[in-house]
Amino acid sequence: MELTRKNKFTHALSAAFPHTLPVLAGFLVLGIAYGMLMLEKGFGPEWSVLMSAVAFCGSMQFVAITLLTTVFQPVEALILSLLVNARQLFYGLSMLDKYKGFGKVKGFLIYTLCDETFSIASSVNPPEGVEPKYFYLSISLLDYLYWGFGTLLGGLLGGMMPFDMKGLDFALTALFVVLFLEQMKKKGNWIFGLIGIACALLSRVIFGAENMVLPALAIILVALLAGRKKRCN
Amino acid sequence: MQLTPIQIVITVLAVALGSMITRFAPFVLFPEGKRPPEVVNYLGSVLPPVMMGLLLVYCLKSVPILSYPYGLPELISIAFIVIIHLWRKNVLLSIGCGTALYMFLVQAVFVA
Protein backbone atom coordinates (compact mmCIF):
# COMPACT_ATOMS: atom_id res chain seq x y z
CA MET A 1 0.00 0.00 0.00
CA GLU A 2 1.42 3.36 -0.97
CA LEU A 3 1.20 5.76 1.90
CA THR A 4 0.47 9.38 1.22
CA ARG A 5 3.04 11.99 2.23
CA LYS A 6 0.98 13.05 5.24
CA ASN A 7 0.52 9.46 6.39
CA LYS A 8 4.25 8.82 6.06
CA PHE A 9 4.96 11.81 8.25
CA THR A 10 2.38 10.82 10.90
CA HIS A 11 3.82 7.31 10.89
CA ALA A 12 7.37 8.65 11.39
CA LEU A 13 6.21 11.09 14.05
CA SER A 14 4.73 8.33 16.20
CA ALA A 15 7.91 6.28 15.75
CA ALA A 16 10.14 9.20 16.73
CA PHE A 17 8.11 10.57 19.66
CA PRO A 18 9.22 8.04 22.35
CA HIS A 19 12.88 8.81 21.59
CA THR A 20 12.30 12.48 22.35
CA LEU A 21 10.62 12.03 25.76
CA PRO A 22 13.77 12.77 27.81
CA VAL A 23 14.23 15.92 25.75
CA LEU A 24 10.60 16.86 26.39
CA ALA A 25 11.20 16.72 30.14
CA GLY A 26 14.53 18.52 29.98
CA PHE A 27 13.51 21.21 27.54
CA LEU A 28 10.30 22.01 29.38
CA VAL A 29 12.15 22.58 32.65
CA LEU A 30 15.03 24.53 31.13
CA GLY A 31 12.75 26.31 28.64
CA ILE A 32 10.49 27.46 31.49
CA ALA A 33 13.58 28.53 33.45
CA TYR A 34 14.74 30.46 30.40
CA GLY A 35 11.37 32.13 29.78
CA MET A 36 11.06 33.09 33.44
CA LEU A 37 14.63 34.32 33.64
CA MET A 38 14.15 36.47 30.55
CA LEU A 39 10.98 37.86 32.10
CA GLU A 40 12.80 38.63 35.33
CA LYS A 41 15.34 40.61 33.28
CA GLY A 42 12.56 42.56 31.59
CA PHE A 43 11.98 40.51 28.42
CA GLY A 44 8.43 39.22 27.92
CA PRO A 45 7.48 35.97 26.12
CA GLU A 46 7.51 37.77 22.76
CA TRP A 47 11.27 38.26 23.17
CA SER A 48 12.13 34.94 24.80
CA VAL A 49 10.13 32.92 22.26
CA LEU A 50 11.67 34.93 19.41
CA MET A 51 15.13 34.07 20.73
CA SER A 52 14.21 30.41 21.19
CA ALA A 53 12.65 30.17 17.72
CA VAL A 54 15.37 32.04 15.83
CA ALA A 55 18.56 31.14 17.70
CA PHE A 56 17.55 27.77 19.25
CA CYS A 57 20.81 27.18 21.10
CA GLY A 58 20.15 26.33 24.78
CA SER A 59 23.15 27.31 26.87
CA MET A 60 24.12 30.15 24.53
CA GLN A 61 20.66 31.66 25.02
CA PHE A 62 21.36 31.76 28.75
CA VAL A 63 24.69 33.44 28.07
CA ALA A 64 22.92 35.87 25.75
CA ILE A 65 20.76 37.11 28.63
CA THR A 66 23.87 38.77 30.00
CA LEU A 67 24.57 40.21 26.56
CA LEU A 68 21.02 41.59 26.41
CA THR A 69 21.17 43.21 29.84
CA THR A 70 24.52 44.99 29.67
CA VAL A 71 25.64 47.11 26.73
CA PHE A 72 24.93 46.63 23.02
CA GLN A 73 27.71 44.32 21.85
CA PRO A 74 26.61 42.39 18.74
CA VAL A 75 30.16 41.45 17.69
CA GLU A 76 30.89 39.87 21.07
CA ALA A 77 27.50 38.11 20.85
CA LEU A 78 28.40 36.68 17.44
CA ILE A 79 31.90 35.58 18.45
CA LEU A 80 30.82 34.13 21.78
CA SER A 81 28.00 32.27 20.01
CA LEU A 82 30.49 30.93 17.45
CA LEU A 83 32.85 29.68 20.14
CA VAL A 84 30.22 28.38 22.56
CA ASN A 85 28.60 26.54 19.66
CA ALA A 86 31.86 25.44 18.00
CA ARG A 87 31.06 21.89 19.09
CA GLN A 88 28.15 21.95 16.65
CA LEU A 89 30.66 21.97 13.79
CA PHE A 90 31.37 18.38 14.70
CA TYR A 91 27.74 17.40 14.98
CA GLY A 92 27.44 18.50 11.38
CA LEU A 93 30.49 16.48 10.39
CA SER A 94 28.89 13.41 11.97
CA MET A 95 25.56 13.90 10.25
CA LEU A 96 26.83 14.60 6.72
CA ASP A 97 25.98 11.08 5.65
CA LYS A 98 22.72 10.54 7.54
CA TYR A 99 21.17 13.77 6.30
CA LYS A 100 22.28 13.24 2.69
CA GLY A 101 19.66 13.59 0.00
CA PHE A 102 16.86 14.93 2.22
CA GLY A 103 16.14 17.90 -0.04
CA LYS A 104 14.27 20.83 1.48
CA VAL A 105 13.96 19.10 4.83
CA LYS A 106 17.75 19.10 5.23
CA GLY A 107 17.92 22.86 5.83
CA PHE A 108 15.61 22.58 8.84
CA LEU A 109 17.48 19.54 10.19
CA ILE A 110 20.76 21.49 10.13
CA TYR A 111 19.14 24.67 11.51
CA THR A 112 17.88 22.78 14.57
CA LEU A 113 20.87 20.47 15.15
CA CYS A 114 21.31 21.01 18.91
CA ASP A 115 23.08 18.77 21.46
CA GLU A 116 20.01 16.71 22.24
CA THR A 117 18.76 16.27 18.69
CA PHE A 118 22.26 15.27 17.62
CA SER A 119 22.58 12.71 20.41
CA ILE A 120 19.32 11.04 19.40
CA ALA A 121 19.69 11.34 15.64
CA SER A 122 23.25 10.02 15.66
CA SER A 123 22.45 6.99 17.82
CA VAL A 124 18.98 5.94 16.66
CA ASN A 125 18.05 4.51 13.29
CA PRO A 126 14.55 4.75 11.83
CA PRO A 127 12.55 1.53 12.30
CA GLU A 128 11.69 -0.67 9.35
CA GLY A 129 9.07 0.86 7.10
CA VAL A 130 9.57 4.38 8.41
CA GLU A 131 10.90 6.91 5.94
CA PRO A 132 14.28 8.18 7.33
CA LYS A 133 13.70 11.74 6.13
CA TYR A 134 10.46 12.09 8.08
CA PHE A 135 11.86 10.21 11.08
CA TYR A 136 14.75 12.65 11.52
CA LEU A 137 12.48 15.56 10.73
CA SER A 138 10.14 14.41 13.53
CA ILE A 139 12.96 14.27 16.09
CA SER A 140 14.23 17.73 15.12
CA LEU A 141 10.75 19.24 14.96
CA LEU A 142 9.64 17.82 18.33
CA ASP A 143 12.80 18.98 20.14
CA TYR A 144 12.49 22.40 18.53
CA LEU A 145 8.83 22.72 19.60
CA TYR A 146 9.53 21.53 23.18
CA TRP A 147 12.09 24.28 23.62
CA GLY A 148 9.81 26.97 22.21
CA PHE A 149 6.85 25.72 24.23
CA GLY A 150 8.85 25.62 27.46
CA THR A 151 10.06 29.15 26.80
CA LEU A 152 6.51 30.35 26.15
CA LEU A 153 5.25 28.69 29.36
CA GLY A 154 8.01 30.30 31.39
CA GLY A 155 7.33 33.67 29.83
CA LEU A 156 3.59 33.41 30.52
CA LEU A 157 3.81 31.80 33.98
CA GLY A 158 6.62 34.01 35.19
CA GLY A 159 4.34 36.96 35.76
CA MET A 160 2.09 35.00 38.10
CA MET A 161 4.76 33.02 39.86
CA PRO A 162 3.70 32.70 43.49
CA PHE A 163 7.30 32.71 44.73
CA ASP A 164 10.19 35.15 44.78
CA MET A 165 12.35 34.65 41.69
CA LYS A 166 15.45 36.15 43.29
CA GLY A 167 18.35 33.79 42.62
CA LEU A 168 16.60 31.90 39.81
CA ASP A 169 19.26 33.00 37.39
CA PHE A 170 21.64 30.78 39.29
CA ALA A 171 20.09 28.03 37.11
CA LEU A 172 22.55 28.99 34.41
CA THR A 173 25.54 28.85 36.74
CA ALA A 174 24.25 25.45 37.84
CA LEU A 175 23.91 24.45 34.18
CA PHE A 176 27.51 25.38 33.48
CA VAL A 177 28.79 23.68 36.63
CA VAL A 178 27.04 20.47 35.60
CA LEU A 179 28.11 20.66 31.95
CA PHE A 180 31.64 21.41 33.10
CA LEU A 181 31.56 18.29 35.28
CA GLU A 182 30.18 16.29 32.36
CA GLN A 183 33.08 17.51 30.23
CA MET A 184 35.59 16.62 32.95
CA LYS A 185 34.37 13.03 32.91
CA LYS A 186 35.84 12.52 29.45
CA LYS A 187 39.38 11.26 29.44
CA GLY A 188 42.09 13.92 29.14
CA ASN A 189 39.62 16.78 29.32
CA TRP A 190 40.51 18.11 32.79
CA ILE A 191 43.59 19.98 31.57
CA PHE A 192 41.45 21.82 29.01
CA GLY A 193 38.82 22.65 31.58
CA LEU A 194 41.58 24.13 33.74
CA ILE A 195 42.94 26.08 30.75
CA GLY A 196 39.49 27.60 30.24
CA ILE A 197 39.11 28.57 33.89
CA ALA A 198 42.69 29.87 34.17
CA CYS A 199 42.53 31.98 30.99
CA ALA A 200 39.12 33.39 31.96
CA LEU A 201 40.26 34.23 35.49
CA LEU A 202 43.39 35.88 34.13
CA SER A 203 41.32 37.95 31.74
CA ARG A 204 38.80 38.80 34.48
CA VAL A 205 41.57 40.05 36.80
CA ILE A 206 43.39 42.07 34.12
CA PHE A 207 40.50 43.44 32.07
CA GLY A 208 37.65 43.53 34.59
CA ALA A 209 34.18 42.01 34.62
CA GLU A 210 32.79 44.02 31.71
CA ASN A 211 35.62 43.48 29.22
CA MET A 212 36.82 39.99 29.95
CA VAL A 213 35.26 37.96 27.12
CA LEU A 214 37.27 38.85 24.03
CA PRO A 215 40.68 38.90 25.75
CA ALA A 216 39.84 35.58 27.39
CA LEU A 217 38.99 34.06 24.00
CA ALA A 218 42.26 35.37 22.53
CA ILE A 219 44.33 34.01 25.45
CA ILE A 220 42.57 30.66 25.14
CA LEU A 221 43.25 30.40 21.41
CA VAL A 222 46.94 31.26 21.89
CA ALA A 223 47.24 28.78 24.76
CA LEU A 224 45.59 25.99 22.79
CA LEU A 225 47.60 26.52 19.60
CA ALA A 226 50.86 26.89 21.57
CA GLY A 227 50.04 23.73 23.51
CA ARG A 228 49.34 21.83 20.32
CA LYS A 229 52.56 23.04 18.68
CA LYS A 230 54.55 22.01 21.73
CA ARG A 231 52.90 18.62 21.68
CA CYS A 232 53.68 18.16 17.99
CA ASN A 233 57.35 19.06 18.54
CA MET B 1 15.82 46.99 29.80
CA GLN B 2 18.68 49.09 28.48
CA LEU B 3 18.79 48.02 24.85
CA THR B 4 16.37 49.37 22.27
CA PRO B 5 14.10 46.85 20.47
CA ILE B 6 16.25 47.16 17.34
CA GLN B 7 19.40 46.41 19.36
CA ILE B 8 17.68 43.40 20.94
CA VAL B 9 16.68 42.03 17.51
CA ILE B 10 20.24 42.55 16.23
CA THR B 11 21.64 40.74 19.27
CA VAL B 12 19.18 37.86 18.74
CA LEU B 13 20.21 37.65 15.08
CA ALA B 14 23.92 37.80 16.03
CA VAL B 15 23.48 34.90 18.45
CA ALA B 16 21.47 32.97 15.85
CA LEU B 17 24.00 33.71 13.11
CA GLY B 18 26.88 32.48 15.29
CA SER B 19 25.05 29.27 16.06
CA MET B 20 23.91 28.75 12.47
CA ILE B 21 27.39 29.27 11.03
CA THR B 22 28.64 26.42 13.22
CA ARG B 23 25.70 24.22 12.28
CA PHE B 24 25.83 24.85 8.54
CA ALA B 25 29.60 25.15 7.98
CA PRO B 26 30.37 21.41 7.84
CA PHE B 27 27.60 20.83 5.32
CA VAL B 28 28.83 23.75 3.22
CA LEU B 29 32.56 22.95 3.51
CA PHE B 30 32.30 19.20 3.09
CA PRO B 31 29.49 18.47 0.66
CA GLU B 32 31.06 15.09 -0.13
CA GLY B 33 33.17 12.88 2.12
CA LYS B 34 36.01 15.38 2.60
CA ARG B 35 38.15 15.20 5.75
CA PRO B 36 38.61 18.36 7.90
CA PRO B 37 42.19 19.67 8.55
CA GLU B 38 43.91 18.41 11.70
CA VAL B 39 43.96 21.77 13.50
CA VAL B 40 40.18 22.05 13.16
CA ASN B 41 39.79 18.56 14.55
CA TYR B 42 42.04 19.48 17.45
CA LEU B 43 40.25 22.71 18.36
CA GLY B 44 36.85 21.09 18.08
CA SER B 45 37.85 18.30 20.41
CA VAL B 46 39.34 20.51 23.13
CA LEU B 47 37.17 23.65 22.96
CA PRO B 48 34.07 22.25 24.72
CA PRO B 49 35.78 21.74 28.14
CA VAL B 50 37.76 24.97 27.68
CA MET B 51 34.60 26.93 26.91
CA MET B 52 32.72 25.43 29.85
CA GLY B 53 35.56 26.65 32.08
CA LEU B 54 35.31 30.09 30.53
CA LEU B 55 31.52 30.18 30.91
CA LEU B 56 31.78 29.18 34.55
CA VAL B 57 34.07 32.13 35.27
CA TYR B 58 32.06 34.40 32.98
CA CYS B 59 28.75 33.89 34.77
CA LEU B 60 30.43 34.51 38.15
CA LYS B 61 32.42 37.51 36.98
CA SER B 62 30.35 40.08 38.91
CA VAL B 63 30.06 38.22 42.22
CA PRO B 64 31.42 40.45 45.02
CA ILE B 65 34.16 38.56 46.83
CA LEU B 66 35.58 41.27 49.07
CA SER B 67 32.26 42.45 50.53
CA TYR B 68 29.27 40.74 52.19
CA PRO B 69 28.27 37.95 51.49
CA TYR B 70 31.77 37.27 50.09
CA GLY B 71 30.55 34.96 47.33
CA LEU B 72 29.41 32.44 49.94
CA PRO B 73 25.97 31.65 48.40
CA GLU B 74 27.69 30.85 45.09
CA LEU B 75 30.48 28.85 46.72
CA ILE B 76 28.11 26.77 48.88
CA SER B 77 25.66 26.14 46.03
CA ILE B 78 28.37 25.14 43.56
CA ALA B 79 29.93 22.77 46.10
CA PHE B 80 26.46 21.28 46.65
CA ILE B 81 25.92 20.86 42.90
CA VAL B 82 29.28 19.13 42.46
CA ILE B 83 28.52 16.69 45.29
CA ILE B 84 24.96 15.90 44.21
CA HIS B 85 26.00 15.55 40.57
CA LEU B 86 28.88 13.17 41.33
CA TRP B 87 26.46 11.23 43.56
CA ARG B 88 23.29 11.00 41.44
CA LYS B 89 24.70 11.83 37.96
CA ASN B 90 21.40 13.43 36.92
CA VAL B 91 21.80 16.71 35.04
CA LEU B 92 18.35 18.12 35.71
CA LEU B 93 18.31 17.02 39.37
CA SER B 94 21.66 18.71 39.98
CA ILE B 95 20.58 21.93 38.29
CA GLY B 96 17.20 21.97 40.04
CA CYS B 97 18.52 21.28 43.54
CA GLY B 98 21.47 23.64 43.17
CA THR B 99 19.26 26.49 41.99
CA ALA B 100 16.74 25.85 44.78
CA LEU B 101 19.51 25.92 47.41
CA TYR B 102 20.92 29.13 45.98
CA MET B 103 17.48 30.79 45.96
CA PHE B 104 17.00 29.75 49.59
CA LEU B 105 20.43 31.10 50.54
CA VAL B 106 20.01 34.52 48.94
CA GLN B 107 16.37 34.90 50.01
CA ALA B 108 16.49 33.58 53.58
CA VAL B 109 20.07 33.20 54.82
CA PHE B 110 22.38 35.81 53.35
CA VAL B 111 19.90 38.65 53.47
CA ALA B 112 21.66 41.97 53.02
Q: Report whether A109 contacts A102 (CB < 8 A).
A: yes
- Which residues on A lie below 8 Å from B40 (Cβ)? 89
Shortest Cα distance from A100 to chain B (angstroms)?
Answer: 9
For residue A232, what pLDDT is reported?
A: 66
State mean pLDDT over A185-198: 90
Give CA B79 to chain center in angstroms: 17
**Do the domain assignments include residue B2?**
no
Q: Report whether A66 contacts B59 (CB < 8 A).
A: yes
d(CA A167, CA B103): 5
Question: How many beta-carbon contacts under 8 Å exist across A and B?
Answer: 265
CB B78 to CB A63 under 8 A? no
**Do the domain assignments include residue B6?**
no
State mean pLDDT over A192-210: 92
For residue A92, what pLDDT is reported?
A: 78
Total domains present in chain B? 1
d(CA A169, CA A55): 20
Cβ-nearest to A192 among B25, B36, B46 = B46
For chain A, the domains span: 5-165, 186-233
- Find the closest chain B residue to A207 by CA distance: B61
Q: Is A205 on the interface with B (CB under 8 A)?
A: no
Residue A167, sorted as left (phi over 0), alpha (psi -120 to 50) or beta, turns out to be left
- Find the closest chain B residue to A23 by CA distance: B92
Q: What is the dihedral of CA B19, A224, B74, A212, to 10 degrees?
A: -70
Q: What is the mean pLDDT of chain A?
A: 85
Confidence of residue A227 (pLDDT cuts 50, 70, 90): confident
For residue A171, what pLDDT is reported?
A: 75
Shortest Cα distance from B68 to chain A (angstroms)?
Answer: 16
Q: Is B83 on the interface with A (CB under 8 A)?
A: no
The DSSP 8-state label assigned to residue B35 in this structure reads P
Mark which residues 1-20 of A lie under 8 Å from B by CB. Answer: none
Percent of chain B residues past pLDDT 90, beyond the cut: 50
**Do the domain assignments include residue B93?**
yes
Name the more confident of A212 and A196. Answer: A196
* Amino acid at residue number A83: L
For residue A206, what pLDDT is reported?
A: 96
Mark which residues 25-54 of B lie under 8 Å from A by CB. Answer: 25-27, 30, 33, 36, 39-40, 42-54
Confidence of residue A157 (pLDDT cuts 50, 70, 90): confident
Confidence of residue A13 (pLDDT cuts 50, 70, 90): very high
CB A77 to CB B103 under 8 A? no
Confidence of residue A77 (pLDDT cuts 50, 70, 90): very high
Q: What is the mean pLDDT of chain B?
A: 86
Instruction: Please determine, for residue A1, whether its predicted confidence score (pLDDT) is greater than 60.
Output: no
- pTM given for the model: 0.64
Q: Report whether A61 contacts A55 (CB < 8 A).
A: yes
Domain of B69? 53-112
d(CA A105, CA A131): 13
Residue A129, sorted as left (phi over 0), alpha (psi -120 to 50) or beta, turns out to be left
Shortest Cα distance from A213 to chain B (angstroms)?
Answer: 8
Using one digit for the tens of pLDDT, what is the confidence trace for B26-42? 889 877 566 767 776 67
Instruction: Please determine, for residue B75, whether its predicted confidence score (pLDDT) is greater than 90.
Output: yes
**Do the domain assignments include residue B78?**
yes
Percent of chain A residues past pLDDT 70, beyond the cut: 89
Using one digit for the tens of pLDDT, what is the confidence trace for A84-131? 787 677 677 667 777 888 988 999 999 999 877 876 786 678 999 999
**Do the domain assignments include residue B66?**
yes
